[in-house]
Structure 1
């Protein structure tokens, strides 16, 4: 079942999301629950909710992190079709720690620019773009997680860039 559909069925309904059921690809690994950020866009631009999921994935002795971004307008009525985003950048980080309660250190990361994606489409309920860090060798003695930050700048709000720190994926050991 599609992840967004599953969330809606468990009582965390996301208004305005077009729900469809289809066979989804295998999950990329332990992921955080969907994290949301509601934004009040300036003027008559449609208020928008960003929806993010942070994951880590292992395969053939390697590990990487990923962040999938979805978005939706909060009311299905657009009065201002102008540019909504000056920038939207997602930083997907693979982090490692020596113990389960130790401090994280970044092993590798990748920053992806999704500005054009968000300005092109007002709402996406599935198949959002994904930012995937490079693979690195998985050491099972360490504790690993994916983590992420989204930095966005709303067009015309005069606030400049804002940072949304996401919750990391569950630890892999």
Structure 2
């Protein structure tokens, strides 16, 4: 009797209806798992989108902050002006020169000299006319200057070729190499002109100029 029941049970379990039910249950379980997987992927996609938006927002904020700091970065410029007249011993011919020494900073310290001139009488001929522009620093407002960078520019040809010059151009501007600015020091731009007249017998003459006011802080 037991053997008969066992065989009957096997036959029942192996019937087409039972197999179909098992297959349907398996499909349902698989579908449920797929739905859960799809939900998980959707959540992960949302997380990635949120992270990406957050990173973009942070990047934009950082860029805006950097731009604001750049726009708000301190900058200053000061100018020292000099005037001198070159004459022959008999007071003729004469040429007057004006020199502006400009010191400026915005991250780097820069210094330039701009030279203008006008023939008053007959034009003074030069064998040499050179200007040396310097960027200088000092530890305190009253201590001695220390030359950091300098450049010498030869203006002999342009001064001899033009009776007057009033515009700003690379030809009449001498620029010292820039340096990194340190707000703890006092900075300025200064210059010296050395010229030699044709036939006056004096040799090179040095003309000291007024430097730019000090920049600090």
TM-score, normalised with respect to structure 2: 0.60
| Alpha-carbon distance between aligned partners in 2 of 1:131 and 1:58, rounded to the nearest angstrom | 17
1:108 aligned residue: 149
SS class of match (1:70): strand
Query: CA-to-partner distance for each residue in 1:106-125, whole Å, 9 max, x for gaps?
Result: 00100000001101101112
Q: Does 1:135 align with 2:178?
A: yes
Moved over 6 A (4+): 42-45
Larger RCO (alpha carbons 8 Å, 6+ apart): 1
Query: CA-to-partner distance for each residue in 1:81-127, whole Å, 9 max, x for gaps?
Result: 7x701001100000001111111100010000000110110111232
Q: Which has the larger radius of gyration?
A: 2
Determine if contact 1:45/1:84 at 8 Å carries over to the other structure: no
**1:26-105 map, 5 Å:** 29-33=77-81, 35-41=82-88, 46-59=93-106, 61-75=107-121, 78=122, 84-105=125-146
Q: Which runs of 5+ in 2 are unaligned?
A: 1-75
**1:146-157 map, 5 Å:** 146-157=189-200
| Alpha-carbon distance between aligned partners in 2 of 1:157 and 1:108, rounded to the nearest angstrom | 33
Q: Does 1:159 align with 2:202?
A: yes
Alignment RMSD: 2.0
| Alpha-carbon distance between aligned partners in 2 of 1:121 and 1:42, rounded to the nearest angstrom | 22
Query: CA-to-partner distance for each residue in 1:127-164, whole Å, 9 max, x for gaps?
Result: 26110000100000100000110000011111100000
Higher helix share: 2
| Alpha-carbon distance between aligned partners in 1 of 2:153 and 2:163, rounded to the nearest angstrom | 19
2:59 aligned residue: none
TM-score, normalised with respect to structure 1: 0.74
